[in-house]
Amino acid sequence: MSATVPLKEETPFRRFVWEFSSSSLAVAGFLTAVVITLMALLAPILAPQNPYDLVHLDIMDGRLPPGSESMSGMTFWLGTDDQGRDMLSGIMYGLRISLGVGVGSAVIAGLIGSALGLIAAYLGGKTETAIMRLVDLQLSFPSILVALMILAFLGKGVMNVMLALVIVEWARYARTARSAALVERRREYMEAAACLALPRWRLLFRHLLPNCLPPLIVIGTIQIARAITLEATLSFLGLGVPITEPSLGLLIANGYQYMLSGKYWISFYPGIALLVTIVAINLMGDQLRDVLNPRLQK
């Protein structure tokens, strides 16, 4: 695969794009992710209905199957929930919350975790031991349990869920950043930079960080998918976001009670949206891992 060389003059970015698109699955994942993101961002414009605006909801439209028409003549392509909310609109708004929480927590955790990982690698000694012990301890407990514990202490709410996700996720970034930094630290340019007597923090952030970025991006992508899954799970369990701002997980939970009576769509379509999102991100992540981090291949 890598033996063939693109014809155009090769910039690292071109090369990256070219290698990334060598997997059609990954490209499909990327395009899907773009569409989903746009849907979430543009929900207020694209959605047929504002699902939070109770004025527009008619309880008479409750639990209509997909394709039904509302009292006011609008078509519910994906049916309605128990309050007569258009599922399509609900899903688009739900995506906003799910993506927002997932991406937001992944980014914050990424910043904190990478910083701690770099510091551990750079300072070494007791600091490193302390940080990595904490990482090990954290990672030896499953994410759901840690999140559960935190939410049990703090209670529900978007902010608390984000906090829980950050606490769950930072450790993986820290581990990745540290191991990447340990490899990079031995490289020549680090020694050269050290010889030039650049200040420590500069060495750390201007030189180490950029070279540790590829593995962090790979982990970050996968962590976004994990965060979205975990948020959905917590919300499904009733421990996540509040009912006023339903994410996909909560939408699914709301429809759950009707599923046994055959009204599958209230849970099913948000579930499909969740699924497509997670799979799309994972497909991207897989290919990114192959392209950005040849060391991890195989």
Is residue 22 at the binding interface for another protein, with CB under 8 A as the rule?
no
Q: Cβ 137 to another protein, closest distance in Å?
A: 7
Q: For the stretch 111-141, what's the b/e string if a residue is b when 16 or more beta carbons lie within 10 angstroms of its beta carbon?
A: ebbbbbbbbbbbeeeeebeebbeebeebeee
- The per-type count for the chain, helices as H runs and strands as E runs, is 12, 2
Q: How many residues bind another protein (CB under 8 A)?
A: 36
Is residue 258 at the binding interface for another protein, with CB under 8 A as the rule?
no
Dist. CA 287–CA 293, nearest whole Å? 10
Contact string (CB under 8 A) for another protein, positions 179-218, x = contact: ----------------------------------------
Contacts of 117 (CB under 8 A, 6+ apart): 131, 173, 174, 175, 176, 177, 178, 181
Is residue 241 at the binding interface for another protein, with CB under 8 A as the rule?
no
Strands (E), the chain: 68-69, 75-76
Nearer to another protein, 55 or 260 (CB): 260
Q: Within 10 Å of residue 282's Cβ, how many Cβ atoms?
A: 17
Q: Cβ 239 to another protein, closest distance in Å?
A: 6
Is residue 87 at the binding interface for another protein, with CB under 8 A as the rule?
no
Question: Which among 49-57, 193-201, 265-273, 289-297 is the span making contact with another protein, rule CB under 8 A?
Answer: 265-273
- Rule CB under 8 A: choose which of 149, 193, 198, 213 binds another protein: 149
Is residue 151 at the binding interface for another protein, with CB under 8 A as the rule?
yes
Is residue 111 at the binding interface for another protein, with CB under 8 A as the rule?
no
Q: Cβ 161 to another protein, closest distance in Å?
A: 13
Radius of gyration of the chain (CA): 23
Dist. CA 219–CA 215, nearest whole Å? 6
- Exposed, middle or buried: residue 33 (CB in 10 Å: 0-12, 13-18, 19+)? buried
- Interface with another protein (CB under 8 A): 137, 140-142, 144-145, 148-154, 225, 229, 232-233, 236-239, 249, 252, 256, 259-260, 262, 264, 267-268, 271, 274-275, 278-279, 282
